[in-house]
Structure 1
Amino acid sequence: MTTDQKTPAIEPLGSGEHPWAKKLRLWRKSAAAAELALTIAITFYLFGGSAEEWASAVQFRYSSPWARSLLFSLLLALVYGVPSFPLTFLRSYYIERRFGLSTQSLKAWSLDQLKGLLLGAVLGAVVVLGLTGILIWGGMSWWWMAAIAAAAFGIVLTRIAPQLIVPIFFKMKPLESPELVNRFTALAQKTGTPILGIYEIDMSRRTKAANAAVIGFGASRRALVGDTLLYEFSTDEVEFVLAHELGHHHHHDLWAGVALSSVTTSLGLAAAHFTIASATEPFGKFFIAGSNSKTFNPILIFLIAVMTTVVGMLLGPVGKWFSRYVEARADRFAARTTENARAGARAFRKLGFQNLAVFQPPAWEETLFYSHPAIARRIERLEPKA
């Protein structure tokens, strides 16, 4: 298989798993495992004394706690990011090209990476500065104050994403299919879920995979349809996919997700608080010093990031279970509102084939890692109604 090979064309109803699906899964899992192993190795290296030395050096050189936090966070980003870049290239460019999913040139991929890096730097700086202020002024209450701030920040990002973040990576234009617009508008009105615009996005510039979404809330809520979905799917099938996305908003899954994320973040921050506060040398002293801007040690940022990440990983299966639950509920909503479960079954077959998804992964893998029910399971649930 070479990077120039084309994936087989999508077959009609009845097509099954793509012949390359399991190979792609193996490549992706191997790359993800390598990235995780590297991240763990770097973290242990930093805990070996390097992080403390760098934090102390930054603390000695800069009097401003804001400068200390930003510079130390930049050092951490470089220490994690530079060694990981080859694996990032392997996972997000080489593998996707090798299996015929990516349509990006190396130049276009590099530009996307640069955009993501700059956006991440801006958002990361906001998080670091906000956390620094909370650590300085929050005292022993810092962890729940940080949890509230994190939830608010997530809500703001969700609100502005359709207008400010998505256009950075995709070109958007109003959907030009009157029939599909009318159908979806009717569904939105029927279910009492107003949508302020339906847009086509140019996914084909990056990938052959198909997708759609309803994002934002309030005045920013918009339906987005990938052009790859429009090219290969019938109007009935696209309507079902959009109805599924509409179901998430009808059931308030966005807010349920925010609540679950807030609980996870709160537990991570609480774990960080009690671990650092009760730690023996060398970390316990940094918590005590954190309440004073003059003695603030930026290693607190690193310790909190590690603890919240570990707790997030441990609670990951809970989040995956909740995600699979709401996805299955959205499938049922789409089948009920469109009254066309057969179109849903066809759409999932095509999506699975086009996106090179494994139709029936092992149960343990689905439980631990899948945010959506297995394709075969989703089709099976729809077909009895077809």
Structure 2
Amino acid sequence: MDQETIKYLILLIVSFNFIFEKLIDYLNVNRKTTEIPANLIGYLDGAKLKESKVYQRTKYNFSLVSDTFSFVITFLLIVFGLFGWFDEWLRQYLQSPMVLTLTYFAIIFIGSDLLSLPFDYYQTFKIENDFGFNKSTVKTFFIDKVKGYLLSIIIGGALLSLLLWLILELGQDFWWIFWIVAALFMLLANLFYTGLILPLFNKLTPLEEGELKETITSYAQSVGFSLKNVFVMDGSKRSSKANAFFSGFGKRKKVVLYDTLIDQHSQEELVAVLAHEIGHYKKGHIKTGMVAGVLQTGLLLYILSLFIFSEPLSMALGANQMAIHLNIIGFTMLFSPISMIIGIGMNYLSRKNEFEADHFAKTTFSGLPLASALKTLSVKTLSDIDPHPAYVFIHYSHPPLLKRLERLE
């Protein structure tokens, strides 16, 4: 395809993605829920249901503004060829292809983040604060930003540098070598995220000795699960919302419980939540998720290799010559429909895995305390108890609350 055709195709894809996403959001936020389901009576009342709807509407209105802003900026950058103009401007000062590309992406990343900063701030300190969720301070907010920048520079910069070096040295054959590197990185990230990265943002402390730990340990032993690393994370430092997650393999596997989860739930509910997380491990969901992620990355890199030296793609973004960084940007836009389809498939797999983990908890411990925990979590976080099926199909990585309760109860 010539550069003009590619340019219009990119504009079409960007516009379709925006309109489609906003349409799905609109259908979901306008779905009526007037009656409280029988199995939520005692947990949810009319006032809380109304508050939940107001929260969902507030987030929808905010995302409409922020996403429209992002869409308009991107659309104008493409229409006026500003991606290419910026490349030509940088070439006056930078001759090395490696330095040029790294500098280009660094400025684009920082510029994009600075544009989104007011929206992030408003969401945290206005929306989340108004509904009683935000516990973060302005100082913590900006320190998190700085830490995020440093991690992006160190880790992201190293990976991007390696990717560029492989492209420049091997041409289109770069993809399979970097695929191996990416797979190793994903494995190491899963193994060491909780031990190395998470402590940079949150404090992890071993679950203290006592009845809760003894009950958790006893349950883990009953299902043949060696569990020595149970940690409590100070999630209340930033939000009142509760959660729990599992990471790692073998001796490095860890279960992390938010302090807010411990504060809001009974001991029986906490063990049920833990049983659900152990179910993911016992059912092999961690490994299958890792394999699926590696395969997805390989597909993306292979298709990228077909576009990486395309001169028309660079010129479609306003350049006068081929530029690797422009082709990466253009590729991400062209690949987005495929990415959406893959995302839908991954969400379907994730929802299936959640049902299986629920069933594991139900058969090895009890379904009722897990159901009770899910009700409390959903009500306290003002979750949408009856989302639109289309929205669930596209966006939900977990089954809707009512679907999970049907199987648990």
Report the Cα offset of residue 308 of structure 1: 5.0
What is the CA–CA distance in structure 2 between the aligned matches of 1:315 and 1:134, rounded to whole Å?
Answer: 26
CA contact (8 A) 1:349 1:375 kept: yes
Aligned amino acid, residue 343 of structure 1: P
Report the Cα offset of residue 349 of structure 1: 0.8
Q: Show the counterpart of 2:339.
A: 312
Q: Residue 331 of structure 1 is aligned with which of 343, 348, 358? A: 358
CA contact (8 A) 1:31 1:90 kept: no
Report the CA distance shift for 1:91/1:265 in structure 2 as closer, same or farther (over 3 A).
farther
Q: Show the counterpart of 1:370.
A: 396
Where do 5+ consecutive residues of structure 1 fail to align?
1-11, 291-295
CA contact (8 A) 2:172 2:306 kept: no
Report the CA distance shift for 1:141/1:208 in structure 2 as closer, same or farther (over 3 A).
same
Q: Show the counterpart of 1:203.
A: 235
Higher deviation after alignment, 327-336 or 111-120: 111-120
Higher deviation after alignment, 316-325 or 173-182: 173-182
What is the CA–CA distance in structure 2 between the aligned matches of 1:40 and 1:272, rounded to whole Å?
Answer: 23
- 1:351 has 2:383 as partner: no
User: What do residues 94-138 of structure 1 show as CA deviations (whole Å, max 9, x unaligned)?
Assistant: 211111111122222222233223323322212321221221123
Q: Show the counterpart of 2:325.
A: 298
RMSD, aligned CA: 2.8
- 1:14 has 2:42 as partner: yes
- 1:74 has 2:112 as partner: no
Q: Show the counterpart of 2:73.
A: 42
Higher deviation after alignment, 228-237 or 98-107: 98-107
Q: Please, what TM-score do these two structures have when normalized by structure 1?
A: 0.85
What is the CA–CA distance in structure 1 between the aligned matches of 2:371 and 2:331, rounded to whole Å?
Answer: 44
Report the CA distance shift for 1:206/1:381 in structure 2 as closer, same or farther (over 3 A).
same
Aligned amino acid, residue 374 of structure 1: P
User: What do residues 277-335 of structure 1 show as CA deviations (whole Å, max 9, x unaligned)?
Assistant: 56636459x9xx98xxxxx7533443344445553234221121111111111111111
Aligned-pair identity (%): 27
Where do 5+ consecutive residues of structure 2 fail to align?
1-39
What is the CA–CA distance in structure 2 between the aligned matches of 1:104 and 1:281, rounded to whole Å?
Answer: 43
Q: Show the counterpart of 1:8.
A: none
User: What do residues 319-373 of structure 1 show as CA deviations (whole Å, max 9, x unaligned)?
Assistant: 21111111111111111111x2111111111111112111121111111111111
Report the CA distance shift for 1:22/1:116 in structure 2 as closer, same or farther (over 3 A).
farther
The total of aligned residue pairs comes to: 365
Report the 3-state secondary structure (helix = DSSP H, G, I; strand = E; otherwise coil) of the residue aligned with 2:227.
coil
Q: Show the counterpart of 2:174.
A: 142
Report the 3-state secondary structure (helix = DSSP H, G, I; strand = E; otherwise coil) of the residue aligned with 1:315.
helix
CA contact (8 A) 1:191 1:250 kept: no
Report the CA distance shift for 1:264/1:224 in structure 2 as closer, same or farther (over 3 A).
same
Q: Show the counterpart of 1:132.
A: 164
CA contact (8 A) 2:246 2:277 kept: yes
Aligned amino acid, residue 337 of structure 1: T
Q: Show the counterpart of 1:221.
A: 253
Q: Residue 104 of structure 1 is aligned with which of 117, 126, 136? A: 136
Aligned amino acid, residue 43 of structure 2: S
What is the CA–CA distance in structure 2 between the aligned matches of 1:195 and 1:29, rounded to whole Å?
Answer: 41
